[in-house]
Chains A and B, each alone.
Chain A
Amino acid sequence: MRPIFLFASFLLTLQIARPVEAAPVNVVTTTEDLAAIAKEVGGERVEVESLAKGVQDPHFIEAKPSFMLKLSRADLFVQVGLELEQAWVGPLLLGGRNGKIQSGAPGFVDASRGITALEVPAEPIDRSAGDVHLQGNPHIWLDPMNGKQIARNIAEGLKRVDPKGAAEYDRNLADFSTRIDAALSRWQERMKPFEGAKVITYHNSWPYFLKRFGLVAAGYIEPKPGIPSSTSHMREVIALIPREQVKVILMEPYFSDQAPKFLAEKTGAKVVPLPPSVSASAGINDYFDLFDLLTNRLAEALR
């Protein structure tokens, strides 16, 4: 036999002998919270990466070319939706030129699907109300029950692009849901003593969280979404804090602490930095860690 045939048959044998190892499903999410849930559902079969880092404000992510490159290779793309990422996802999806993950394609997942959005404007509204989200408040991942629906949406997406893994995804999903249910009763127990407590938040990021754990937003540092505070608005908030017996001012770590600190000085309320995302601070490695930290920190502050 000629050496070339020998070589070819050698290659062929190699090809046959090698165990069939499927390439992992490449999942790209817009935020770390979605990435954390995708890891729970995808397990061993997926490789997950988030475009935004946990410490970043998901409204203001740069549409970097390197992100387009990541999207060009993705099998599944997951966005929060409800216009949270509307300033930057469009150019990235277009620049990634990946037919598998365009809106409407099997590899496109809108995590907000099937979730009842809060604060959908009841009447026609315009931007004199600030940068409002017309489809409702997009910070949906901050309610663990929504986390379960997000996991369901991701599992459906994974099954569409990787039908072979369907059984595994279903198993992971069921397991995740059970663990959420168990953890939720723990978190609710922890928050129970503070039911009805009023808080001030910076941006209107927390309605899902507050509703789930029985807290109430008495006011916001932003007079309108995306609009920085004014002196007259600050005066109103200062008056409101003792009237409503507000003990804490919640702030996302990426906002300037100037206004919260000023309020605290004037009223004696406590500024509580609350990371709203997985990996936003040390020790929040998964979706469960996030609520552990949030409920612990709040319970401590409200005590």
Chain B
Amino acid sequence: MMRSILFALSVLGAILGIVPSLFAQEGIAPPARSAQTFNPEISLDGLFSAATFSDPDHLQFGAHDPNKRGFTLQNLELTLAGNVDPYFRGEAHLIFGLEDGESFIEVEEAFLTTLSLPYGLQVMGGQFFTRFGRQNPLHPHVWDFADQNMINTLMFGGDGLRSPGVQLSALLPLPFYLELIGSAQNAEGETATSFLFAPEETFAGRPILERDVHDEGDLLYLGRIKTSLDLSESVTLVAGTSHLFGPNGTGENTSTRIHGVDLFVKWKPLTADHGWPFVTFQGEAMRRSYEAGEAALDDGTVLSEETFANDGFYIQSLYGFARRWVAGIRYEQADATDPVDPASGERWRASSNLTFYPSEFSKIRLQYNYDNSDDRDDPIHAVFIQYAFLIGAHGAHTF
């Protein structure tokens, strides 16, 4: 039922996208602007790091993590954005990467957002990060830590969960902020880990099948509720729950569900000097149930249907204690160490970092991780130095 509704919404969204004039407000004139601002906003973010680990065989699985001893290009991201016309805003994020000396380009995100649908509705279409929780939609250059959370990497893979699709959201006409978000996206490819893609050829011993989209049941669906309250003029809370449903590749009808809750609280006095001081608290917890299908293996063993469940969380806090300086701590726990095998042991990790912002357009970060996993004798110590720059259009500050 839920799936059919979301599918219908996605079709509706696509139609709205094709015939915007039907739904646009009356009397919108094309924006009058100088020739200069007709150009899209262009910016380039560069994110580099130097890393060292106490054990070369460490546990950094994120594709944008500092994941080797020595230097890493974590992310080089070209962003183009601008209003397309009075009805749409367009945004594209292209990633340039380096792997073993080879350069590559990736379409991280490229999507349209409607500007003027009635009833607080908004449709987004294209290739985009699934709006699950707080961390998944964030680009690496705005992460508060040098590496991705364990639980996000575990559930959504090294690149985060993103795929082509369509999203419909509504801001409800209530006295407080309540947003409902639903999306339908493709479930295959490297950026849909936990669904039709597995990082290895097998999952819990079962081979991963090539599974095409037969019907609407083979897409990936998100339902999210997000709310926000201003507890005072200087304290704001944002909370949400996210639910994902999608197919996985261990059988013809097997599916994966991921549920999550997230909380964010920020304190910043009204009289903050250039944005300082401030304190934030953020936490997310997720639980996945992965239904693995029946499989007859080549050696004659038969694996029966089985559902694997695992969960984990992170909590983190940032303290902007003096202008340009931010200290952070993070604690994470998950009941798996290896994204391909949820049955492996318990892992916890504690991180602390210190970031210096010479200006809004650059940062230098020092981070230490203490990484403890049940299936290892010794914990892993990791130290990262990260540096980032932004050139071009002033980035928007999201809350």
Chain A interfacial positions (CB closer than 8 Å to B): 53, 55-57, 59-60, 62-66, 68-69, 72-73, 83, 86-88, 90-91, 94-100, 102-106, 127, 130-131, 226-228, 253-256
Contact = CB atoms under 8 A, between A and B. Distances in A.
A99 B115 contact: yes
A86 B122 contact: no
B190 to A, nearest CB: 29
Contact of A53 (B24, B32, B233, B324): B233
A127 B399 contact: no
Interface string B10-39: 000000000000001101111111000000
A106 B176 CA distance: 26
B171 A102 contact: no
A72 B360 CA distance: 29
B271 A97 contact: no
A55 B273 CA distance: 11
B384 to A, nearest CB: 26
Given A57-B273, A63-B396, 11 more contacts: A55-B271, A59-B274, A62-B236, A68-B171, A91-B396, A98-B116, A99-B24, A100-B116, A103-B83, A226-B360, A254-B271
A100 B28 CA distance: 8
B397 A94 contact: no
A66 B236 contact: yes
B170 to A, nearest CB: 9
A105 to B, nearest CB: 5
B118 A99 contact: yes
A97 B122 contact: yes
Contacts of A73: 173
A226 B397 contact: no
Nearest to A134: B36
22 contacts: A56-B272, A57-B274, A62-B268, A63-B396, A65-B179, A65-B399, A66-B236, A83-B394, A87-B397, A90-B396, A97-B114, A99-B117, A102-B83, A103-B83, A104-B28, A104-B83, A106-B29, A226-B360, A253-B271, A254-B272, A254-B273, A255-B273
Contacts of A254: 271-273
B361 interface: yes
Interface string B214-243: 000000000000101110010010100000
A65 B361 CA distance: 24
Given A65-B399, A68-B171, A57 B272 contact: yes
**Dominant secondary structure at the B interface:** loop
B177 interface: yes
Most buried by B among A94, A99, A102, A228: A99
B24 A97 contact: no
Contacts of B361: 127, 131
Contact of A56 (B86, B270, B391, B397): B270
A99 to B, nearest CB: 3
B25 A62 contact: no
Contacts of B30: 104
Given A69-B171, A87-B396, A104-B31, A60 B272 contact: yes
Contacts of A72: 120, 171, 173
Interface in B140-175: 171, 173
Contacts of B226: 65
B230 A66 contact: yes
Contact of A105 (B25, B177, B391): B25
Contact of B359 (A65, A96, A227): A227
B115 A64 contact: no
Contacts of B110: none
Contacts of A102: 28, 83, 86, 115-116
Contacts of B120: 72, 97
Interface in B89-137: 89, 113-118, 120-122
Given A64-B228, A131-B360, A99 B271 contact: no
A227 B24 CA distance: 43
Nearest to A254: B271
B209 to A, nearest CB: 40
B301 interface: no
Nearest to B116: A99
B171 A100 contact: no
A102 B266 CA distance: 28
B323 interface: yes
